[in-house]
Chains A and B, each alone.
Chain A
């Protein structure tokens, strides 16, 4: 009798999440086409299209299997990620002074990209089993911090400052989700600057410091060092600013087609987009990302359990920080670090990683009504 009264909610495909991702990916591919028109490699957008489709199929598969199974293998996933990072350090291909990739024929795979998602899964597993309704002390965070730290150290070894920084930010975002005691919060705030100074002194490479310094100089005197390290930031701002309200029109920009932004496909696709589509397009894209991140938080809030919430917040934070660091860089409010714009930047590993994340999000969203009493 009761059963006939209680409306039992069913699994539901998250069309809104799908729609946002579809929109961003499509616009991203079209934008890549524009950057490639004059560069002699116009087929890049096609490669990107393949990756998006492949990643989309992958994410669909990831989404339909109830995530309780992922929870079960959470540490294994994390451990596998760490193993890949160690292997890449041993057998990876060196490109431009850093060892980040496995080269399998034409295809290059970057484990550190995958690691971000696997770290989220690992942290979710830990927090899933460690509820602290009364408030969390710093020592309760020791294991998650260790997990993150291990991943970061391995990634910094490559070295890949941007991704390491992202792992840290993802960790901090997930920590935001938990309820730290007041004392712990204060301690954390006091120790952070010390860690930052030590990191600057011992962890950062010279060229990375150079980028930060050049970024700072750009703040102080935007005209200085136009051709040195500040070239990218300066050219990116010129490209974005010159788009004005309505932009120069599709395929009519200067930054991409004319080589004024040499790394426009991976790091500066937004600049190309903003130049060609103007404020209307650029602000629209920014709002799409805002919506995506807000949707992640909504999925987290509606999740059926702690694992799902941490997954949604973790994946959401990956998207969020990628967007923040990339947009901050291209708009000249943050230093130039090579962080991609989710589903917009060219790159197979990047697209696959984000699609994997989307799959997990979709999973949490789909299965939010399936209460698991048995566990």
Chain B
């Protein structure tokens, strides 16, 4: 049979099997690849694909509120809306123009926002372009409405609700309350290292910086929640029906709000204390319940509105604050060390009395100065013959020089230490200074061979190397007035859930019972009453017969300064004037509160600090806790501290006048 050459298929015939093999092997590669992608690594890719479409939006937790002891709101969170963007997904052309239009921004504002976005977008390798950044804080209601309504035109743009901190009383208790600002790198690192902090901080979060906001950050903060939402590659949210099945079962975690905190501070008292101090630009005061150590008011002037600090200061404001010579940032009640001056004398007296070195009746003559070791130690003037009562009432230094000479530095230090001097009080907010009570050992260590008895003389009147804080003085005078129980000062009464359920109730903490006899304490209390009531008393000029108050004045020398360039004469005199102290308890019978006042560069304590203390006491009894009515603090229904202080009440000092000579 003839076969046409065109039908000559033998050339092809043996090629087909190789073709089939080649084709088969090639397809085998694809099937293997599918096995690899879908079966072997399917889980990984599935997760990646979920991350593609599911964006987790964090829901901020509502920070706990801070109340004063009467339930007044001192810090709360107000709703606020922040415009955020993921720069990568923002359409910088039409989309951005639409955004500017919807927000009603002027050219300058629009440019600033565009610049911020472009900064994140400029480098395509920079993964920050996928980070959510804030574009506009505290959006106006109409801006919020416009953006919400046109969300589908604004790729990559979103609004988050971020509660803003608000302090209704502004600067009234700003040193105690503190303020908040944005976390920094250290905060984030610290939080990451700390296993107790489950909800890690992220850039842009606020954190308590000072005061209670800082100390109780963990309690106040709450735990943020999250919501997962499905978006497409452009960051536009997709409707429910389109995303069915894509979202994991748990698509939302409600945030849990932080705990509320109730302070022992009474805003009304805090306010009137500030008013009493208003004539003194740089001054401070602490008012403490002597029966449990709770702080009723703690004022440090000047102060800065917590709202301002939290919302951010302008550069100019920042500069003004830093240049303010009265140091508004510093909480003078706990952070600042002062010479106590004569406020310290009761504790020198205790050392001498308890060690049996003098009796109250022993008399020393004051001729206006005391000569020791070739040096002259001055008194204010010549007081003549002084008993202990006289010496305390009239604040005679010479009497105490004599006492100190006989008692010695270490004994004074021991009694001062019993009353909490030289140790942090543990009040629990803001940075606390330790103060300092010098001892022989301390001198030997730090100034070998230089110790002189003269140092003891200075120490005895609260000068030299003796340093205290207001908080220490308040705690010590409370102990002195309550029969010898030294409490740890506390400013927080309780922690509650937002619904008001008490999580933790702070009980009084007794640091120790001092070993000073009731007799000695009664004697000193009697003398403190005399300071105000006696005509000879250093605070008698502040005496108000309607106010029952016993206290000790102090005039703490300041380090003399030469006149600086640019100082006015007034500045120069101001800075060289002594600090004025008044440490007191009131009322004299059954004392309730300790009031400690310090006026920086005020001059003599009796003239400049005592009137403030007396004024505070007067208004306290008029406005806060009127006499012969309900006892202090007992008016709040959940208060059980009256019970707690029972053990110390039976040892409370009795009438001081019985011991008057």
Contacts and interface: CB of A to CB of B under 8 A. Distances in A.
A23 to B, nearest CB: 17
A242 B46 contact: yes
B34 A331 contact: yes
A279 B39 contact: yes
B43 A244 contact: yes
A3 interface: no
B242 A306 contact: no
| Chain B residues touching A, range | 35 or more
Nearest to A303: B9
Contacts of B20: 294, 297
A289 B246 contact: no
Contacts of B190: none
A309 interface: yes
A373 interface: yes
Contact of B232 (A131, A260, A274, A283): A260
Interface in A218-272: 227-228, 235, 237-245, 248-249, 252, 254-255, 257-260, 262
A354 interface: no
A318 to B, nearest CB: 13
A177 B22 CA distance: 12
Interface in A104-127: none
B5 interface: yes
A131 B27 contact: no
B38 A240 contact: yes
A241 B37 contact: yes
Contact of B6 (A227, A249, A305, A331): A305
A244 B6 contact: no
A274 B11 contact: no
A244 B19 contact: no
Interface of B is mostly: helix
Contacts of A262: 233
Given A260-B52, A279-B39, A132 B29 contact: no
Contacts of B29: 333
Given A176-B19, A324-B26, A241 B8 contact: no
Interface residues of A, number: 67
A258 B53 contact: yes
B348 to A, nearest CB: 74
B15 A254 contact: no
A279 to B, nearest CB: 4
A150 to B, nearest CB: 24
A286 interface: yes
B446 interface: no
A238 B45 contact: yes
Interface in B42-72: 42-46, 48-50, 52-53
A304 B49 CA distance: 51
B91 to A, nearest CB: 13
A375 B7 CA distance: 10
B5 to A, nearest CB: 5
B27 A241 contact: no
Nearest to A260: B233
A306 B9 contact: yes
A282 B34 contact: yes
A161 B197 CA distance: 57
A248 B243 CA distance: 12
A64 B231 CA distance: 51
A65 interface: no
Given A227-B124, A258-B232, A275-B49, A245 B39 contact: yes
B335 to A, nearest CB: 51
Contact of B49 (A242, A307, A372, A375): A242
A128 B12 CA distance: 11
A297 B23 contact: yes
A320 interface: yes
A258 B42 contact: no
Contacts of B233: 258-260, 262
B7 A305 contact: yes
B41 to A, nearest CB: 6
B315 interface: no
Contacts of B232: 38, 257-260
Nearest to B38: A279
Nearest to B23: A293
A286 B28 CA distance: 9
19 contacts: A37-B242, A131-B8, A227-B124, A240-B34, A241-B49, A242-B45, A244-B45, A244-B46, A252-B245, A259-B232, A289-B27, A290-B24, A294-B23, A294-B24, A297-B16, A297-B19, A331-B30, A331-B33, A333-B33
Counting from the closest, the 4 A-B pairs by CB-CB distance are A241-B45, A242-B49, A244-B42, A258-B232
